[in-house]
């Protein structure tokens, strides 16, 4: 029940990214190696531009930029352009928290209600959340609606309403039980910094980080924000309109979790906080890179690109750790941009790779390039031997499966998917997606000792029964993006066990199968409108008793998340409530408010006004509708979508024009209360 972009990302990342193999012959021998690496991102993964830097002992060894910045004005990207660095912002938040810890103003293991008595949730366990848990992703917080933070304008709403939003939420897990990616923890840490310091988050970052480090470009949207120097994405990903040149820059207003803007050079200069004592003591630096993820549930072996420290995604990145070199890493993705940062305290090195466009989880590709740049530097200096390529075990044939593994047949879930696992006696494990039948099944062959391996040797799976009572499908796969392959291991799916519900309740949910619901409360200037129709589609079947897709059924109208997966595949847990108002069904979750398709009106000439509640309105075209034009009085947007949910026109991105309507088009209007739309249909 996620939107399509994230769904496709999950499917891609759950297998093997393998566009090229390491040591592939690189194009244009006249280019430097970093330039060739950047061209892999551009030519193989669709990045529009790439910026990169490597600093060593305070001097830049590598620095450059490749690709187009502005197609409209025919300009190239430069090293001066800035990017939203998305989740790398979290390590800035961590640095601020650790600074306050050193000043004695915060204790990492004191409940945050000590510092924020107005922080409340309806789940009493919230009283046990500590600052450490915010930074190591183990707070147990569920997702909140970040649609109101990723905008085309500067806005503080996401920050201002967070505490009110959390008051109505439960926790998804006991605080400290396991670490799973959580944006909300860092948004809460942003507020904690403000409460303890008496400064706004931006003021604190400026006073204690950017000014002491003399970072002149690093900024947040709350600064004197120069949007003209943000790296451009000429064509919004997934946009099918005429606005092929000069798309508006994204503004990320969730500052503590994703709202820092900088360039590759200043990102490396910021990283010097973790290379030498100064802003932080060595004790604090070491603590941020410690293996915090081991404090809770985690898989028992296998390296991963995600092994949480405090703020860091990883405190001992492979293949460097195998040769005794500690590499800290963090990466992030926004709607337009992707970023990766590596820090090597032992050798006083930092590497940054930033890009726009291309692969929707492009930070994985950026991480691969950054790792290759670092490998090159360490090998050149004799600090590291060329690492051994990850072992690929290519099976010749499946072998017979012992009966004890057949109990693992059934249905499994993660943050985006429900899958069906079938194991036959002859050793074939088949994974299918019941609600996405057009996706091909994935098959693995049993090779003994509980291990199932992909016929290509790129991925292997095994089943793990954890102490919490859940069964997990653990995967290990290679990220082979044309650089040295990285290995990623973790729990990818969680098994669903049937539960008893009455036939009456089950029938209520069966009546919702296949229904569409449309999101009502995305701000009119939200990025989502330009990428895809903001709707969700209910599952087509209910194969597990007591569950509606990935939700556990409580009664006729309420479902809750049961996701308990550490690392990344259990992120963004969501509960939902369905209710009827004026004969129309609505769905409210911790991520937003939706209305059923029956509320969508036929497209017709008329003047339409956004009501006081500010909700978006949706319309459906008929076969006779060929085009429309609109004039807007007030702050608002009109967008048109094709029958594949792609946006073909957005008044936010294009000037007013007559829009040709695709077959079976959907039209949305959104804006401030009182905004009017005069629509003419031809």
The tens digit of pLDDT for each residue in 451-485 reads: 999 999 989 999 999 999 999 999 999 999 999 99
User: Sign of torsion, CA 70 73 75 78?
Assistant: negative
What's the burial of 516, exposed, middle or buried (CB within 10 Å: 0-12/13-18/19+)? middle
Residue 16 pLDDT > 80: no
DSSP 280-306: S-HHHHHHHTS-GGGGSB--SS---S-
As separate numbers, helices (DSSP H) first and strands (DSSP E) second, the chain gives 13, 36
For range 550-568, the mean pLDDT: 97
pLDDT at 339: 98
> pLDDT confidence of 344, banded at 50, 70, 90?
very high
Residue 225 pLDDT > 50: yes
For range 514-530, the mean pLDDT: 95
pLDDT at 390: 84
In which element (H, E) is residue 17 found? strand 17-20
Contact criterion met (CB below 8 Å) for 139 and 133: yes
Nearest CA to 20 out of 442, 366, 485, 454 is that of 485
Contact criterion met (CB below 8 Å) for 619 and 650: no
Nearest CA to 257 out of 203, 310, 189, 307 is that of 189
For range 505-517, the mean pLDDT: 97
For range 215-239, the mean pLDDT: 89
Nearest CA to 274 out of 28, 42, 95 is that of 95
Pairwise CA distance, residues 245 & 653, whole Å: 10
Give me the chain's average pLDDT, please.
93
pLDDT at 244: 57
pLDDT at 67: 96
pLDDT at 9: 36
Max Cα–Cα distance, the chain, nearest Å:
72
Pairwise CA distance, residues 472 & 491, whole Å: 6
Contact criterion met (CB below 8 Å) for 112 and 189: no
List strands edge to edge, sheet with 666-671.
601-602, 617-620, 666-671, 636-641, 647-650
* Residue where the block lists tokens 């709403």: 157
Question: Could you report the per-residue pLDDT of 422-452, keeping only the tens digit for each?
Answer: 999 999 999 999 888 888 999 999 999 999 9
Pairwise CA distance, residues 41 & 482, whole Å: 9
pLDDT at 301: 87
Nearest CA to 170 out of 184, 190, 150, 191 is that of 184
Pairwise CA distance, residues 302 & 446, whole Å: 19
Residue of higher predicted confidence among 134 and 17: 134
For range 364-386, the mean pLDDT: 97
pLDDT at 502: 97
Spell out a b/e string for 469-503, using b for 16 or more CB atoms within 10 Å of the CB, else e.
ebbbbbbbbbbbbbbbbbbbbbbbbbbbeeeebee
Pairwise CA distance, residues 301 & 103, whole Å: 37
Nearest CA to 492 out of 137, 7, 10, 8 is that of 10
Residue of higher predicted confidence among 250 and 242: 250
For range 373-395, the mean pLDDT: 93
Contact criterion met (CB below 8 Å) for 332 and 115: no
543 C-beta neighbours (distance < 10 Å), count: 15
Residue 537 pLDDT > 60: yes
Alpha carbon distances (Å) from 253 to 260, 261, 320:
9, 11, 35
What's the burial of 554, exposed, middle or buried (CB within 10 Å: 0-12/13-18/19+)? middle
DSSP 306-370: -B--SS-SBSS-TTTGGGT---EEEEEE-SSEEEEEEEEGGGTEEEEEEEEESSTTHHHHHHHHH
Beta-ladder partners of 150: 252
pLDDT at 680: 97
Helices (H), 46-110: 89-102
Residue 23 pLDDT > 80: no
Helix (H, G, I), strand (E, B) or coil at 379: helix
> What pTM, to 2 d.p., does this model score?
0.94
Distance between start and end Cα atoms, the chain: 35
Q: What percent of the chain has pLDDT over 70?
A: 95
Pairwise CA distance, residues 434 & 418, whole Å: 7
pLDDT at 27: 55
The three-point CA angle 259-238-661 to 5° equals 130
Pairwise CA distance, residues 86 & 339, whole Å: 7
Question: In this structure, are strands 666-671 and 636-641 parallel, antiparallel, or unpaired?
Answer: antiparallel
pLDDT at 243: 64
pLDDT at 24: 40
Pairwise CA distance, residues 436 & 433, whole Å: 5
Determine the angle formed by the axes of helices 33-45 and 362-380, rounding to 10 degrees: 160
For range 492-503, the mean pLDDT: 96
Nearest CA to 82 out of 228, 226, 262, 267 is that of 262
> pLDDT confidence of 49, banded at 50, 70, 90?
very high
Question: In this structure, are strands 17-20 and 471-481 parallel, antiparallel, or unpaired?
Answer: parallel
The three-point CA angle 662-668-673 to 5° equals 160
Across 13-22, 245-254, 618-627, the highest mean pLDDT is recorded for 618-627
DSSP 444-499: EEE-STT-EE-TTSSEEEEEEE-TTS-EEEEEEEEEEESSSPEEEEEEEEEE----
Alpha carbon distances (Å) from 609 to 71, 312, 508, 554, 676:
36, 46, 34, 37, 4
Question: Could you report the per-residue pLDDT of 637-673, keeping only the tens digit for each?
Answer: 999 999 999 999 999 998 888 999 999 999 999 999 9
Nearest CA to 137 out of 299, 314, 366, 329 is that of 314
């Amino acid at each position: 029940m996620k939107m399509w972009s994230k769904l496709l990302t999950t499917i891609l990342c759950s297998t093997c990214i393998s566009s090229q193999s390491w040591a592939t012959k690189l194009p244009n021998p006249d280019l430097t190696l970093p330039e060739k690496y950047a061209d892999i991102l551009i030519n193989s993964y669709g990045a529009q531009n790439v910026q990169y830097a490597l600093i060593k002992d305070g001097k830049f060894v590598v620095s450059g930029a490749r690709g187009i910045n502005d197609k409209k004005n025919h300009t190239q990207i430069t090293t001066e352009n800035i990017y939203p660095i998305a989740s790398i912002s979290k390590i800035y938040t961590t640095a601020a928290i650790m600074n306050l810890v050193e000043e004695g103003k915060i204790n990492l293991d004191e409940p945050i209600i000590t510092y924020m008595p107005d922080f409340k949730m309806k789940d009493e366990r919230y009283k046990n959340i500590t600052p450490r848990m915010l930074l190591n992703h183990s707070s147990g917080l569920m997702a909140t609606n970040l649609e109101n933070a990723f905008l085309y304008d500067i806005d503080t709403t996401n920050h201002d309403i967070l505490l009110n939003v959390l008051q109505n939420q439960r926790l998804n897990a006991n605080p400290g039980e396991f670490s799973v990616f959580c944006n909300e923890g860092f948004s809460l840490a942003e507020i904690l910094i403000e409460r303890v310091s008496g400064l706004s988050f931006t003021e604190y970052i400026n006073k204690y980080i950017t000014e002491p480090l003399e970072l002149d470009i690093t900024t947040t949207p709350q600064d004197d924000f120069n949007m003209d120097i943000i790296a451009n994405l000429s064509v919004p990903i997934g946009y099918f309109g005429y606005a092929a040149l000069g798309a508006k820059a994204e503004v990320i207003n969730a500052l503590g979790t994703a709202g820092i803007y900088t360039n590759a050079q200043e990102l490396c200069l910021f990283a010097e906080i973790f290379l030498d004592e100064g802003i932080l003591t060595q004790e604090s630096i070491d603590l941020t890179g410690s293996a915090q993820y081991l404090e809770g549930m985690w898989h028992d072996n296998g390296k991963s690109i995600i092994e949480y420290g405090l703020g860091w995604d990883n405190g001992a990145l492979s293949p460097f750790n195998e040769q005794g070199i500690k590499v800290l890493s963090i990466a992030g993705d926004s709607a337009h941009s992707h970023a990766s940062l590596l820090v090597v305290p032992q050798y006083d090195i930092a590497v940054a790779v930033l890009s726009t466009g291309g692969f929707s989880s492009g930070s994985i590709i950026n991480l691969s390039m950054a790792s290759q740049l670092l490998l090159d530097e360490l090998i050149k200096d004799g600090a590291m031997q060329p690492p051994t390529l990850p072992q690929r075990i290519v099976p010749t044939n499946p072998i017979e499966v012992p009966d004890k593994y057949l109990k693992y047949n059934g249905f499994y879930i993660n943050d985006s998917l429900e899958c069906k696992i079938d194991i036959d006696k002859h050793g074939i494990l088949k994974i299918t997606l019941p609600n996405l039948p057009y996706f091909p099944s994935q098959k693995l062959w049993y090779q003994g000792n509980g291990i199932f391996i992909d016929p290509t040797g790129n991925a292997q799976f095994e089943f793990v029964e954890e102490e919490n009572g859940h069964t997990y499908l653990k995967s290990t796969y290679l990220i082979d993006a044309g650089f040295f392959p990285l290995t990623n291991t973790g729990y990818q799916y969680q098994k669903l066990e049937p539960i008893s519900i009455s036939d009456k309740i089950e029938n209520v949910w069966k009546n919702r199968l296949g229904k569409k619901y449309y999101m009502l409360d995305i701000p009119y200037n939200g990025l989502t409108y330009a990428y895809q129709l903001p709707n969700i589609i209910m599952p087509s079947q209910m194969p597990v008793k007591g569950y509606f897709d990935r939700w556990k059924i409580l009664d006729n109208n309420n479902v809750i998340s049961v996701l308990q997966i550490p690392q990344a595949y259990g992120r963004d847990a969501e509960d939902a409530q369905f209710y009827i108002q004026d004969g129309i069904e609505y769905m409210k979750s911790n991520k937003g408010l939706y209305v059923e398709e029956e509320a969508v009106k036929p497209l017709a000439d008329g003047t339409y006004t956004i009501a006081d509640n500010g909700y978006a309105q949706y319309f459906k075209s008929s076969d006779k509708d060929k085009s429309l034009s609109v004039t807007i009085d007030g702050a608002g947007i009109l967008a048109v979508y094709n029958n594949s949910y792609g946006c073909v026109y957005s008044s936010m991105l294009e000037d007013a024009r007559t829009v040709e309507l695709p077959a079976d088009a959907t039209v949305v209007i959104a804006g401030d209360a009182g905004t009017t739309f005069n629509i003419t249909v031809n």
